[in-house]
Structure 1
Amino acid sequence: MKIERVASRFSVTALAALAGVHVAWGLGSSWPLPDREAFSDAVIRRPEAPGAVACHSVACALGAGALLVGGRPKQYLALSRLGAAGVAGVLGVRGLAGFSGRTDLLSPGSASARFRRLDRLVYSPLCLVLGASSAIATVRRHR
């Protein structure tokens, strides 16, 4: 299997799964944490958990990203390629911001010690891997 296919399948699956998790969070789930307070501190570092609109907005963005990285809409390949490149760029910026300890520039208030630790260990590496795989899928598929 070609590397762009593997990268595309990985990116699309991961982005769609993350969209699903955000929908669940928007519906009130705290998974994988025991309660909404722990969830809030680990995910956004604010006293209250993100609301349904915020969670569902992120879910929509992730779902759209999955479609774009997957080469959709096929009838508008230039739009698909531009959108997928945007997905890769946004994920790359988010990953670099987290590693540098500056996620708060992108999401004000994201500064608790727990959030920063998780950001450097989990969130930022995931964003960088997804950004890189999305870029590989996009660039190699459209050559």
Structure 2
Amino acid sequence: MNVERVASRTSASALTVLAGLHVAWGLGSTWPLPDRETFSDLVVGGAGFPPPAACFAVAGALGTAAALVAGRPRTHPALSRLGTAGTAAVLGARAAAGLAGRTDLLSPGSSSPRFRRLDRIAYAPLCLALAASTALAAAARRR
């Protein structure tokens, strides 16, 4: 199996898992945290549990990104290539904002000190790794 295929499968799998997590949150779960207050501080970055519609919208975007990165729709490879490149760009922008401590520019209210710390050490690096892996998959599809 070549590196590009591994990158594509890894990215698509991670995006699918993240989509599922957002669905669980939309249904009211606070996993992996014990309560809504802690969840809001560490995951959202501010007061208030996110509304289900917001969680489901993010889940839909992540699921769509996973499908595109996985090479879907196979009947429209140009759409898959463009979507994969777009996914890499969005993940890269999210990583940059998080590493700079400015996720609040993309998600207003995401500014609690605990969130910013966790964003810099976990969320943004994950986005950066996914952006790199997805970019590798996108580059391979241009050949």
TM-score bin (small chain):
over 0.9
Determine if the alignment matches structure 1 residue 99 to structure 2 residue 84: no
2:125 corresponds to: 125
1:140 corresponds to: 140
For structure 2, which runs of at least 5 residues remain unmatched after alignment?
Answer: none
Q: Does the 8 Å contact 2:81/2:141 carry over to 1?
A: no
1:60 corresponds to: 60
Q: TM-score by structure 2 length? A: 0.98
2:83 corresponds to: 83
- The total of aligned residue pairs comes to 143
2:110 corresponds to: 110
CA–CA separation in structure 1 for the residues paired with 2:36 and 2:28: 8
Task: Tell me how far 1:124 sits from its aligned partner.
Answer: 0.1
CA–CA separation in structure 2 for the residues paired with 1:51 and 1:122: 23
Q: Does the 8 Å contact 2:36/2:49 carry over to 1?
A: yes
For structure 1, which runs of at least 5 residues remain unmatched after alignment?
Answer: none
Q: Secondary structure at the match of 2:104?
A: helix
Deviations 1:59-87 (A, max 9, x none): 00000000000110111111111111000
Query: Percent same amino acid among aligned pairs?
Result: 64
Deviations 1:87-128 (A, max 9, x none): 000000000110011111111111111000110011000000
Task: Tell me how far 1:46 sits from its aligned partner.
Answer: 2.3
Q: TM-score by structure 1 length? A: 0.98
Q: Secondary structure at the match of 2:31?
A: coil
2:71 corresponds to: 71
Q: Secondary structure at the match of 1:14?
A: helix
Q: Does the 8 Å contact 2:44/2:115 carry over to 1?
A: yes
Determine if the alignment matches structure 1 residue 47 to structure 2 residue 50: no
Q: Which amino acid aligns with 1:115?
A: F
Task: Tell me how far 1:44 sits from its aligned partner.
Answer: 1.2
Q: Which moved further from structure 2: 42-51 or 113-122?
A: 42-51
